[in-house]
Amino acid sequence: MENIIDTAKLVLTKKDFESDQMVKWCPGCGDHAILKSVENVFPELGIPKEDFVVVSGIGCSSRFPYYMNTYGIHGIHGRAAALATGIKIANPKLSVWMITGDGDSMAIGGNHFIHVARRNPDVNILLFNNKIYGLTKGQYSPTTPKGSKTKTSPQGSFETPFNPGELVMGARGKFFARVVDTNIKMMTRIFKEASEHHGASIVEILANCVIFNNKVHGLITGRDTKEDNQIFLEAGQPMIYGKEKDKGIILDGAQLKSVTIGENGITESDLMVHDPTTEDSGIHIMLANMAPPELPAAMGVIRSVKAPTIEDSVWASVEHEKQISPLKNVDDLLNSGSTWDID
């Protein structure tokens, strides 16, 4: 674990963040591409390398901190959000990145996940959603599709899965984006946007577990099918997708609908224009819930709304109290209120 001492703080490269530890994910695992994307992003953020902290819980994804040459803490199962919140409140200048998975954050850490979304600390949360427990070798998770046969659901899972985006917005989260692990360019761009958003930025990464749930996102990520089953949402742009760029999304009554430009008199101007900044999350939830085959899965920044962070509020309160409190030190406190002297 060499610590390279570098005074040229802000001229950083990917190398600055590569750890000397052997990366032990399975060959072909989507996590390798995610790691590469994070290593791409960090040098570009203008943040001194000492100020990055990578935090995780437990699971395959959560080994991530060991593979980055930053400050890092590998916590306990499900609790990364609590760790990250504590770190960020205690030291707001740090750039905190939380790495988690669908077991870690949707199951055992579900409680912390909804609260980190609601409290809005400025942390970047990368949620590796491979819809399976990988490290324990193949049990269904809270995002596994109903009916999936796994080691603990041999007859098919009986449970309705969570959609992480819907959960984030239900918890009044302010930033939600989705990417696929097969697209490093997309990941790099969105991780950067997540970092630049001031508040809790939650990025769902559709990740492939090559061993226990191979191709679970195949329809969305497959070479031949992806363009018809993904839509990349750009703020201020009409929602267009498809191999021929001829498909789009309209709001039909209270539902989203896929249409073809040129058919039934549909023109580009009939399509919805993406606005991630609306306070109301109604449309964002609908976008997060889109799924093939009827609708394309939404990629990119689905929701990005400005709101105060918990640490800003806390430290503003500290400054305010310092101004107005008559107690300047603990001696003042001990001697405040009712006291008496014995001579």
Partner 1 sequence: MTDSKNKVIELEKAVIRFAGDSGDGMQLTGSLFSDSTAFAGNDFATFPDYPSEIRAPQGTVSGVSGFQIHFGSNDIHTSGDQADVLVAMNPASLKANKNWMTNDAVIIVDNDAFTEKNIIKAGYENNPLTDGTLNGHLVVNAPIATLTKAAVSELDIDNKSAQKSKNMFALGMIFYMFNRSYEKTFTFFENKFKTKPLIVESNKLVLKAGYNFADTIEAFTNTFKIAPAKLNKGRYRNVTGNLATAWGLLAAAERSGLKLFIGSYPITPATEILQELAKHKQFSAVSFQAEDEIAGIVSTIGASFAGALPVTSTSGPGLSLKSEALGLAVMTELPLVVVNVQRGGPSTGLPTKSEQSDLYQALFGRNGEAPLIVMAASSSSDCFYSAFEAVKLSLEHMTPVILLTDGSLANGSEVFKIPKVNSLPKIKPPIAKANDADYKPYARDSKKLSRPWAIPGTEGLRHRIGGLEKENISGNVSHNPENHQLMSELRQEKVERVADFISSQTVEGDENADILVVSWGGTYGVMLTAVEQLLKEGYSIAFTHFKHIMPFPKNTEDILSKYKKILVCEINMGQFVNYLRMKFPKYDYGQYNKIQGLPFTVAELKKEFITLINQ
Site of interaction with partner 1 (CB under 8 A): 1, 3, 5, 9, 19, 21, 48-51, 53-56, 58, 65-66, 68-76, 79, 81-91, 93-94, 111-112, 115, 314, 317-318, 320-322, 324-325, 327-331, 333-335, 337-343
Task: Mark residue 263 as left, alpha or beta (left: phi above 0; alpha: psi -120 to 50; beta: remaining).
Answer: beta
Nearer to partner 1 (CB atom), residue 142 or residue 300: 142
Nearer to partner 1 (CB atom), residue 56 or residue 304: 56
Residue 250, classed as helix, strand or coil, is strand
Nearer to partner 1 (CB atom), residue 294 or residue 341: 341
Say if CB 266 and CB 250 are below 8 A apart: yes
Residue 87 in tokens: 């770190």
Nearer to partner 1 (CB atom), residue 9 or residue 245: 9
CB of 59 vs partner 1, minimal distance in Å: 12
CB of 81 vs partner 1, minimal distance in Å: 8
Alpha helices in 236-325 (DSSP H): 282-289, 310-324
CB of 170 vs partner 1, minimal distance in Å: 15
Nearer to partner 1 (CB atom), residue 306 or residue 320: 320
Can you give the three-state secondary structure of 95-150, one letter per residue?
EEEEEEEHHHHHHHCHHHHHHHHHHCCCEEEEEEECCCECCCCCECCCCCCCCCCE
Q: Residue 212, class by beta-carbon neighbours within 10 Å (0-12 exposed, 13-18 middle, 19+ buried)?
A: buried
CB of 187 vs partner 1, minimal distance in Å: 22
CB of 281 vs partner 1, minimal distance in Å: 21
Say if CB 26 and CB 19 are below 8 A apart: no
